[in-house]
Copies of this chain bind each other. A is one copy, B any other.
Amino acid sequence: MKVLTKNSDYAIRALLALAAKKGSYLSAKSIATEHDIPYQFLRRLLQEMIRHDLIVSKEGAQGGFMMKKDPDAITVTQLIEIFQGKVQVSECMFRKQICGNRARCVLRHEIMRIEQVVQSEFEKVTIGKLLRDLESAGLKP
């Protein structure tokens, strides 16, 4: 069971790069080479992040991408939702008979409780936090 797919993984790395160079444009190409991310793949991810208002872009030579949203306001949960869909434990785990009785279904409760825990843990991790952690460890993203 994989929690982060390449999508999210790459997206996080790219955002860290952008957050570190806040205020200036970074080209997809430069991010791709520096971070070993497949170029065309990365470009699609960046487009997606524009659509979600996390970053902005400038076309043409010397163009590129720049942070828009506050890095502290971007959580890993959000990125997972964008690139892997909402965290869901199971579509609906038990047979019709039981599922008719959603309110009482204790299994569903258990499952939903875990879902909550997972989400809230990931919500504690923001791009801003990751960046500061990296920096305080003496590493550039």
Contact = CB atoms under 8 A, between A and B. Distances in A.
Interface of A: 1-4, 8-9, 12-13, 34-36, 80, 84-91, 93-96, 98, 101, 104-107, 109-111, 113-115, 117-118, 121-122, 125, 129-130, 133-134, 136-139
User: How many monomers of this chain does the complex have?
Assistant: 2
Nearest to A90: B4
A86 B1 contact: yes
A58 B84 CA distance: 42
Contacts of A118: 3, 114, 117-118, 121
A104 B3 contact: no
Given A104-B139, A110-B125, A2 B88 contact: yes
